[in-house]
Amino acid sequence: MAEESAAQKNPENWISPQKILVILAHPDDPEFFCGATIARWTRQGHTVEYCLLTRGDKGVRDELIDRETLSRIREVEQKRAAEILGVSRVRFLNFEDGYLQPDLNARREVVSVIREVRPDVVVTSDPTNYFHREDRINHPDHRIAGQIVCEAVYPASGNPMYYPELLERGLSPHEIKELWLTLTAQPNMMIDVTETWDFKIAALKQHCSQIANIDEMERIQRLRHTPDSSDDNPRYVDSFRRIKFR
């Protein structure tokens, strides 16, 4: 029983602080997809950075708004949310929202970030998940961001023959230890995030431009407890597909 309890408290089985790079498509993706896990990691002493491929310049409901204005709003919202979760840095690669493509240019930009940050762990979205809910199609940027990152992680980021111009910038090859895929239909890793679920909600509240009704968002998030728990005694879990390279 003692071994089981220890495994539940440290399912990752990391014995030292990790450097974790979260690479996703849009502002608010980290908070919605795995914000409670990010809060858990930073509070355990791990270092988390964000790299967002776009600035979310098409994140509107019905109204039209100047893209640059919206991008600036969303950058501010994202930085406030990241601060609540304990994230050390947020960077934006400035690809156009909604138009992501898994091309060589995007792959090079992600390889550049991976070689600069030199993380132990990279977190991105599952590129194979077209339908993450029964009533919704997964945003193509979510899938394509995952594809770009997976193709950057292997084989490009660790191979000096890929993008030799990065060597001239002092960005030497780097191989990560683990890749974690969020928004996946094939999880093999469950993280109990009950203790940090409130941090996730607090971070989501910073994304006012994207959430029409903050109170309703919070109500829905609090209902996302596991089936074996209750509203009065909830248990929350984040799911991932974890790939360990070594």
85: which DSSP letter?
Answer: H
Q: Which residues contact 135 (CB under 8 A, 6 or more apart)?
A: none
Q: How far is CA 246 from the centre of its chain?
A: 22
Q: Rg (Cα) of the chain, in Å, rounded?
A: 18
Question: Which CATH number is correct for 16-244, 3.40.50.970, 3.40.50.720, 3.30.56.10, 3.40.50.10320?
Answer: 3.40.50.10320
Stated pTM of the model: 0.94
Q: What is the mean pLDDT of residues 162-173?
A: 96
**pLDDT band at residue 66 using 50, 70 and 90 as cut-offs:** confident
Q: Is the pLDDT of residue 24 over 70?
A: yes
Check if the beta carbon of residue 183 is closer than 8 Å to that of residue 58: no
Under the banding of pLDDT at 50, 70 and 90, the label for residue 210 is confident
Vertex 244, ends 242 and 246: CA angle to 5°? Answer: 170
For 145, left (φ over 0), alpha (ψ -120 to 50), or beta?
alpha
Q: At what angle do helices 140-151 and 104-117 cross, to 10 degrees?
A: 60
- Distance in angstroms (rounded) separating the CA atoms of residues 189 and 243: 10
The domain limits of the chain are 16-244
pLDDT tens digits, residue range 75-125? 999 999 999 999 999 999 999 999 999 999 999 999 999 999 999 999 999
Rounded to the nearest 10 degrees, the angle between the axes of helix 197-204 and helix 29-43 is: 140
